[in-house]
Structure 1
Amino acid sequence: MKIFVHYLCLEKLLNTESSTNKKVLTKIEKKNIQNQRNFYLKEFLHTDKPINITEDRYGKPYAIDYPHLCFNQSHSQSFYALVYNKQNVHVGVDIEDFSRSIHMDALAKRYFHIEEVRKWEEMGKSKKIWLKIWTIKEAVLKAHGLGIRLSLKTLNTNIDDKTNMGIVRHEQLGRFRYQCFDMKSSMMTIAYQDLGMDAEIFFK
C-alpha cells in the first residue's frame, strides 16, 4: 500500500513573505489551502475536472466522485501536510511545531492515557515524546473520522521511544498503524487503517 505526502512551509503554501505564526487561519488563507489541496489531488488522479469534495456527518472530507481516494491534511503554525492514497485506506495526519509553547504536565494529565503518562515520565518528560503522543492521537482520530468526540484519555498510543512506528487499538475505533516523522522543526505523524499490511510512505 502506498501513501503519498506533501509537506511544506505554510508561508510558501499561502504565498506570503510575512511569518504566519498562528494556528487559526483567515477564511482567505483556508480557501488558499483548499485550492492547493485540490490541485495536488487532481494531479494525483490525473484529471482536469473539478474534484467535488464534501464532508460526512463528523466533518471528515471526502471526494464524492472518487470513493477510493482517501486524504487528510493538517497545519501547524509553520508547516502544512497533505496525505492521500487511492486504495480506500483511511488516513490521517497531524503536525505540531517543536517551538510551540505547551503546558505539558497539565495537558498530559487531562488528555493522556495513564500508560502514556507513565511512559512519558519515564522518558524524562521529553517534549519530543510528548508531541509524538499528541500527534499520534490526533492522526488516528482524524483517520477514523470520529475526531475529538472520543475522550483522548481512552486512547493508548503504546508509544515506544525506540521506534517511530506502532499500532493503536481501541474498541470504538478499531486498529490503526502509525508512523512518526521528526521533521527537525516539527513532529508529524501519519496514521492509517490497519488492513494487515505496512504502508510505503512517499514524500512528493
Structure 2
Amino acid sequence: MSKTDKKIHVDVSPIHKIFVPAATDSRTEKIQQLKQAIYRYRNQLLSEYLKHDIQNSDIERNPHGKPFLMAFPQLQFNHSHSRQHYALASSFELLDIGIDIEDLDRNVRFDGLAQHAFHPNELKYWQDLEHDADYWFRVWTTKEAVLKASGLGIRLSLNELDTRVHPSAQGGICHHPQIGSFAYQNFRLTDYMLTVAWRAAPSCAGFQFPQIHIVQH
C-alpha cells in the first residue's frame, strides 16, 4: 500500500505539560479540571493550525455528539487522551477522522477485556500470538479510533466490529454494515500506541495510506 498526497496532522503531548491539578481532594473536581485543560489545549492547537482563534463556543456537535467547527466545516478533527498523553488529529482532505492513544504501561486486564471486547477473529489471532501485548493495543486503539471516527462510539458493541488487524501489518481497512468502511494506521512509539482512522472506500483495491504527520510536543 502506497501513500497519497492526502494528509492527516497529529499533535501528541504529555498530559503533564497540559494539566497541573489544583489542590483538591475531590476526584470529580480533578476530572473536571482535566477536561477543561484538555479543551483549552485542543482550542490552542486548532487555533495555531487554522491561524484563527478558536473557543469552546465555536465548536458544535452532530446528532451523535461528535464535535465540529461551524466556521471550518471542512476540517475534520478528533482527539483522545490517556493518563499520560493527549493526541489531536486533523485533516482538510479526509472524512470522519478518529484517533485513540493508549499508554503501553497501562495496567490492563488483557484477557478479560479481550474476551469481552474482541471480535472472535481478533480473539483467535491474539490467542495464536500467545497474548501478545502489542497486538492487543493495536486492536484496542483501532476499535476506539474507528468507532470515534464513525461518530457512533459505544453505540456499537466493541465485539461486533472486526478490525481485521493483522499481526504483521501496521494498518488496514475494516467494515461494519452499521458504520461503513474505515481505514486505519497504527503507530507504536516509545511509550504509547496511537491509531488514526478515517472513512474509506468499501474495497481495498487501489487503497493508499494518507501522509500522517505526527508532531510530538
The answer to whether TM tops 0.5 is: yes
- 1:141, 1:11 → 2: CA distance? 27
Change (3 A) 1:25 1:90: farther
**Partner Cα distance (1:149, 1:122) in 2:** 29
In the alignment, which residue of structure 2 is the partner of 1:79? 85
* 1:77-136 Cα distance to aligned partner (Å, 9 max, x none): 111100001235211111111111111112111111100000001111011111110100
Match of residue 64 from structure 1: 70
Change (3 A) 1:118 1:61: same
Query: Does residue 209 of structure 2 align to residue 203 of structure 1?
Result: no
- Larger mean Cα displacement after TM superposition, 121-130 or 44-53: 44-53
Using the TM superposition, give the Cα deviation of residue 182 of structure 1 relative to its aligned residue in structure 2, in angstroms.
0.7
Q: Return the offset for 1:48.
A: 3.4
Query: Structure 1 residue 92 and structure 2 residue 101: aligned?
Result: no
Name the structure 1 match of 2:15: 10
Counterparts of 2:123 and 2:214 in 1: how far apart (Å)? 32
Aligned length: 200
Q: TM-score, normalised by structure 2?
A: 0.85
Task: Name the structure 2 match of 1:19.
Answer: none
How far apart, in 2, do the equivalents of 1:183 and 1:163 lie? 15
User: Any idea what SS the aligned residue of 2:17 has?
Assistant: helix
CA distance in structure 2 between the partners assigned to 1:10 and 1:170 by the alignment? 33
Partners of 1:88 and 1:115 in 2: how far apart?
28
> Which residue identity lines up with residue 203 of structure 1 in the other structure?
I
Between the two proteins, what is the percent identity of the paired residues?
Answer: 36
Q: Provide, for residues 13-59 of structure 1, a one-character-per-residue CA deviation record: whole Å limited to 9, x for no partner.
A: 2256xxxxx9x952122111111111111221122364700212222
Deviations 1:145-204 (A, max 9, x none): 000010111100111121101101111111111111111211111111115542110123
Q: Is the CA contact (8 Å cut-off) linking 2:43 and 2:54 kept in structure 1?
A: no
Aligned residue runs from structure 1 range 4-43, under 5 A? 4-15=9-20, 26-43=31-48
Retained in 1: the 8 A contact 2:125–2:167? no
Gaps of 5+ in 1: 17-21
Three-state SS of the structure 2 residue aligned to 1:158 is coil
CA distance in 1, matches of 2:118, 2:53: 44
Call closer, same or farther: CA 1:5–1:49 in 2, change over 3 Å.
closer
Match of 1:134 in 2: 140
Moved over 6 A (4+): none
